[in-house]
């Protein structure tokens, strides 16, 4: 259940990435404006107040970079495990397990739906066998294989995580 929730969370954060980044931009702008106001209350000129506010905030690009890192892998968890002696292979296995664990769930949901849809389509199309096992199995294999390769990329990235960086990044 937790894997599933995390999966949807990550999925969601990918689809809203642009929105989130825009929000981050507006929020940083608001933050600097508030700091500028405070600096002006402290007696600085408008220009100087703004300049110091931007300085205090620090590099905006670095903030966005940190945000993008946060959106990615659960690197902290993998980092901790690697610090405790897990090998890069373990890290790959961990990410793959997370991704491939969703496949059985997809099958449980998908197969009954396929059969239900087949029943309906069988009436609509002439000469089509909706329960062709070869077609169904090929589809399952093809989708499973692409899921495997799709999760291999983040898995390999996970194996290169430095435990120290992962801990710092949280």
Partner 1 sequence: MLLVGNPMKSKTDVLQGTLTLMVLKTLDVLEPLHGYGIARRIQQISGDILNVNQGTLYPVLLKLEQEGSIASYWGVSENNRKARFYRLTRGGRKQLRAETQSWEQTAAIIGRFFTAKAEDLG
Which residues make up the interface to partner 1 (CB under 8 A)?
Answer: 9, 12-13, 20, 23-24, 26-28, 30-31, 33-35, 37, 57-59, 62-63, 65-67, 69-70, 165, 167-168, 170
In the complex with partner 1, the residue whose CB is nearer, 22 or 115, is 22
Distance CA 135, CA 33 (A): 60
CB 133 within 8 A of CB 69: no
Residue 89 CB, shortest distance to partner 1, in Å, is 27
Residue 37 CB, shortest distance to partner 1, in Å, is 5
Residue 36 CB, shortest distance to partner 1, in Å, is 9
Distance CA 85, CA 119 (A): 52
Q: Where are the beta strands (DSSP E) in 14-152?
A: none
Distance CA 65, CA 24 (A): 11
In the complex with partner 1, the residue whose CB is nearer, 66 or 146, is 66
């Amino acid at each position: 259940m937790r894997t599933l929730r995390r999966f949807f969370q990550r999925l969601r954060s990918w689809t809203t990435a642009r929105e989130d980044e825009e929000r981050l931009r507006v929020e940083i702008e608001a933050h600097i404006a508030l700091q500028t106001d405070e600096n002006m209350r402290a007696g600085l000129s408008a220009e100087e107040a703004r300049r110091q506010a931007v300085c205090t905030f620090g590099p905006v690009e670095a903030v966005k970079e940190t945000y993008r890192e946060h959106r990615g892998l659960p690197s902290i968890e993998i980092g901790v495990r690697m610090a405790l002696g897990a090998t890069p292979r373990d890290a790959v296995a961990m990410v793959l397990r997370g991704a491939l664990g969703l496949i059985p769930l997809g099958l449980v949901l998908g197969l009954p739906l396929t059969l239900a849809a087949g029943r309906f389509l069988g009436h609509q199309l002439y000469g089509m066998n909706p329960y062709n096992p070869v077609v169904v199995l090929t589809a399952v294999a093809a989708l499973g294989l692409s899921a495997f390769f799709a999760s291999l990329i983040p898995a390999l990235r996970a194996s290169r995580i430095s435990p120290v960086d992962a801990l710092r990044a949280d």
